């Protein structure tokens, strides 16, 4: 059996960690930590702070942290197409193609769009077309994950916070070590993919600037 087939279940579990948090997250995060300790010892310590935090705060607090990280006054977005292409026509084409693949394979995207990271991770776990899976990994998931992770850079965070204060007159305060904790599962997921599929990113594709897109949106809102 190929590595791709063997990895189906744990990629679905990893995708679940990046959904909006529910009570089951506490159980799932412990499953992931145990799996990483046995299968990916080189990256398990990176994930551990996220596991420990989830186990030691309430689900309500985790939900607030998730919202602050990905939705309201966000550090980054989980929508891969938007992160890479902004509102360019390329994202529209990507959404059409991804919707077709999700529908064909029966992957329910819920209330999120087709390029939402957890939905795409579930898709690659369900696909039987190895060539399409590898194309999605090379051209969408790996560059998207690297872009997401880079948005947690302290200097980028400082500039984003200044933008939020300017437009909203207030900032949702989060302790620094907690406010960047969702970077841990993103880094872990990227390391797993690179190890399992032996892929190196080809960064020829131009990517959008999340901060620029954010500033533009806020100006429109004003």
The whole-number pLDDT of residue 58 equals 94
Class of the domain covering 3-221? mainly alpha
* pLDDT(26) > 60: yes
CB-based contacts of 109, cutoff 8 Å, min separation 6: 99, 102, 116, 119
Q: List, for residues 99-144, the tens digit of each pLDDT value.
A: 999 999 999 999 999 999 999 999 999 999 999 999 999 999 999 9
Q: Average pLDDT of 196-222?
A: 55
The whole-number pLDDT of residue 162 equals 74
Break the chain into its structural domains and give their ranges. 3-221
Name the percent of the chain lying above pLDDT 70.
78
pTM for this entry: 0.84
């Amino acid at each position: 059996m190929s590595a791709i087939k063997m990895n189906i279940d744990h990629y679905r579990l990893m995708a679940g960690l990046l959904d909006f948090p529910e009570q089951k997250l506490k159980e799932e995060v412990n499953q992931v930590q145990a799996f990483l300790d046995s299968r990916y010892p080189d990256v398990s310590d990176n994930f551990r702070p996220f596991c420990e935090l989830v186990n030691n705060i309430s689900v309500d607090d985790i939900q607030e942290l998730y919202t602050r990280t990905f939705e309201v006054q966000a550090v980054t977005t989980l929508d891969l197409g938007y992160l890479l292409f902004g509102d360019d026509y390329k994202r529209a084409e990507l959404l059409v193609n991804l919707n077709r693949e999700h529908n064909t394979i029966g992957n329910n995207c819920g209330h999120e769009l087709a390029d939402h990271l957890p939905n795409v991770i579930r898709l690659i776990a369900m696909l039987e077309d190895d060539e399409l899976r590898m194309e999605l990994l090379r051209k969408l998931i790996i560059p998207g994950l690297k872009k997401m992770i880079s948005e947690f850079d302290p200097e980028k965070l400082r500039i984003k916070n200044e933008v939020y204060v300017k437009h909203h007159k207030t900032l949702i305060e989060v302790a620094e070590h907690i406010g960047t904790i969702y970077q841990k599962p993103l880094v872990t997921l990227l390391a797993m993919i690179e190890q399992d599929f032996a892929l190196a990113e080809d960064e020829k594709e131009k990517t959008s600037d999340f901060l620029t897109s954010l500033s533009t949106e806020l100006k429109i809102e004003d």
